[in-house]
Structure 1
Amino acid sequence: MADAEVDVQRVMCFVCNAPAVRKRIYCGDCKLWSHRSCAEKKKCCCTSSSEIPTDTDVPNAMKNLVATISSLTSTVADMKKCIDELITENKKLRKDIENLKSTHPPDIHQTTFEEATAEAVERIRRSNNVIIRGIPEPTGDSDHRKQSDLDTVKNVASTILPPDDDIQIISVTRLGKFNATRTRPTKVIFSSSFTAKSILRNKTKLSGSRFEQLKIQDDKTPTQQQYLRDLRAELAQRSLTEDNLTIKYIHGIAKITKNLPPRIN
């Protein structure tokens, strides 16, 4: 350790955790302050450096800490949104089950907090993904097919998004085993959920292009897929007695609503 007489901001002694204002020394390797008297009682891992912290050490560390906290806050917010959606879906399913109790034995699956959290995490993980249906299966060896799919996905993304967007693709994968009689869906993982959401939000821009036959969807979890199957079955049943019913996404949740005619101004 070396003497440090620079006037830096108020620091704490790493030995006694008391403010070290005067008669303090600094370890440049470990970046730790201590009282001179405390330093003799307990050494840090390095004792040979004489480096004094620069004015940017603390601000840079604070910037990194703020960035980490901001990232965690965003992740927690996404998890809370997913959990809220799961709670809403669960309430609807419970209501439907209550309506069927009079004619069917109850078979209620209570969603636990752990299951809801796992589902929320899985939805966040899949938020970077899109599923593209209709890309023709390329020919050739494995490497050529992978490169061909990657090139096609890049062209599709550049058709939808502005030219100055930074499109970073993590992977492009065909789903399922090869079958000469059908075309397998293609799963694309982007570097951020923002890119995936932009693709989904603006996919209508493919209309009129050479890719207009493609269908682009979000990467739903098995729970979401089952919920939609049940909702479509309910829609088919209710449509026998009700008119103008459709499925719409309200606050990110699929619901059956009346398909109202457009207003005439």
Structure 2
Amino acid sequence: MSRAAKGSWKCLDCKSYVACTKGDLAELLKHFEEKMNEGMRQALRSEIGEQVKRLETKITSIETSLLALESKHDVVQRQLDDISRDLSERKGMGLVERVDKLELDIAAIRSSTPGSGTLSPSGFQLETIMSEMKERQRRANNLIFHDVPESTAESMAARINDEIAYLNNGLAKLNVDLQDMVVKTSRIGKPDPSKVRPLLVTMRDSSAVSRVLSSNRKANPRVLSVTSDNTPAQHKYMAELRLTLREKQDRGETDITIKYVSGVPTIVPSATHPSTSGGTKTLNQGLGQS
């Protein structure tokens, strides 16, 4: 088609020239902008939605962590309250009794040399006393748990984990949290299929030992069968004290019992109640549980 023909071409229907007007361009641009804006809005909405979901997940995680921290805070607060009560009860109590006992010990040592008013030169009893003090100090961080099932796991690590899990279950009932407080565990005696060996547990410090024993004493009934790690001398003293108690009761002194006075088992009247001034604490029927 020639240039002249192209220039004179008309639409057969309307007999008018076909031309693109400014209005058509404006409408086209407007439609294009609307499509672009809608696409951008959808992309932004999608991105914002993803960000909101991620934020909600993080918030949920933070809330869970806060709840766990609050729970641990409650446990720590209860432990601090128990320690504070124990310190308040023990502060200044039993000093007279302890001084009296020291005076009796010194008198006994002096009496080892007839007619002497000074300490025995041999020093045998002094060495015995010092040795006993060191042994008690060595055992101060120990607890002995009875009736803890012996694990049948093959590895020692697995057996220890089983035993710790069993103890933690019992301690949880006492609201005592000893996480990371256990230093080591070991069984006392040789393996015997007919009985369960006692479990010796060494704690990081003696305060953990006190928390376990104190919380278990307050439970009724007792949750755990646990004792302190007493020395042979302490066991001997307790056996003699039980014998003395039985002899007194046989003679008609029925209103007496054995209680801890400032940490020392002592025969006292049954009517004696715990007090902050005397430091008196009832010894259990088993008489071996601290």
Q: 2:240 aligns with which of 223, 230, 235?
A: 230
* Higher normalized strand content (fraction of residues): 1
User: Secondary structure at 2:250's aligned position in 1?
Assistant: coil
Counterpart residue number, 1:249:
260
CA distance in structure 2 between the aligned counterparts of 1:178 and 1:89, rounded to whole angstroms:
42
CA distance in structure 2 between the aligned counterparts of 1:123 and 1:215, rounded to whole angstroms:
21
Cα pair 1:161 1:198 within 8 Å, conserved: no
User: Secondary structure at 1:112's aligned position in 2?
Assistant: helix
Deviations 1:139-174 (A, max 9, x none): 2325233321122223333433445x6541011111
Q: 2:168 aligns with which of 154, 172, 191?
A: 154
Counterpart residue number, 2:129:
116
Q: 1:1-265, aligned counterparts within 5 Å? A: 88=101, 91=104, 112-143=125-156, 144-163=158-177, 167-204=180-217, 207=220, 212=222, 214-241=224-251, 242-260=253-271
CA distance in structure 1 between the aligned counterparts of 2:255 and 2:180, rounded to whole angstroms:
40
Cα pair 1:159 1:206 within 8 Å, conserved: no
CA distance in structure 2 between the aligned counterparts of 1:158 and 1:246, rounded to whole angstroms:
32
Structure 1 unmatched runs, 5+: 1-80, 96-109
User: Secondary structure at 1:119's aligned position in 2?
Assistant: helix
Closer, same or farther: CA 215–158 of 1 in aligned 2, 3 Å: same
Closer, same or farther: CA 226–85 of 1 in aligned 2, 3 Å: farther
CA distance in structure 2 between the aligned counterparts of 1:89 and 1:224, rounded to whole angstroms:
17
Closer, same or farther: CA 158–205 of 1 in aligned 2, 3 Å: farther
Q: Could you say which structure has the greater relative contact order, defined with CA pairs below 8 angstroms and 6 or more residues apart?
A: 2
Deviations 1:1-48 (A, max 9, x none): xxxxxxxxxxxxxxxxxxxxxxxxxxxxxxxxxxxxxxxxxxxxxxxx
Cα pair 2:136 2:231 within 8 Å, conserved: yes
Structure 2 unmatched runs, 5+: 1-93, 109-122, 274-290
* Higher normalized helix content (fraction of residues): 2
Shift of 1:86: 11
CA RMSD of aligned residues (A): 3.3
| Greater gyration radius | 2
Shift of 1:203: 0.9
Closer, same or farther: CA 213–196 of 1 in aligned 2, 3 Å: closer
**Percent identity at matched positions?**
25
Cα pair 1:122 1:221 within 8 Å, conserved: yes
Counterpart residue number, 1:62:
none
Closer, same or farther: CA 178–194 of 1 in aligned 2, 3 Å: same
Query: How many residues are matched?
Result: 162
Shift of 1:198: 0.7
Closer, same or farther: CA 224–238 of 1 in aligned 2, 3 Å: same
1:151 corresponds to which letter in structure 2?
Answer: A
TM-score if structure 2 supplies the norm length?
A: 0.48
Cα pair 1:135 1:214 within 8 Å, conserved: no
CA distance in structure 1 between the aligned counterparts of 2:258 and 2:99, rounded to whole angstroms:
18
1:246 corresponds to which letter in structure 2?
Answer: T
Shift of 1:135: 1.1
CA distance in structure 1 between the aligned counterparts of 2:266 and 2:124, rounded to whole angstroms:
20
Shift of 1:87: 8.4
Deviations 1:204-227 (A, max 9, x none): 46557xxx5631111101110110
User: Secondary structure at 1:224's aligned position in 2?
Assistant: helix
Closer, same or farther: CA 179–166 of 1 in aligned 2, 3 Å: closer
Closer, same or farther: CA 88–243 of 1 in aligned 2, 3 Å: same
TM-score if structure 1 supplies the norm length?
A: 0.52
Closer, same or farther: CA 258–149 of 1 in aligned 2, 3 Å: same
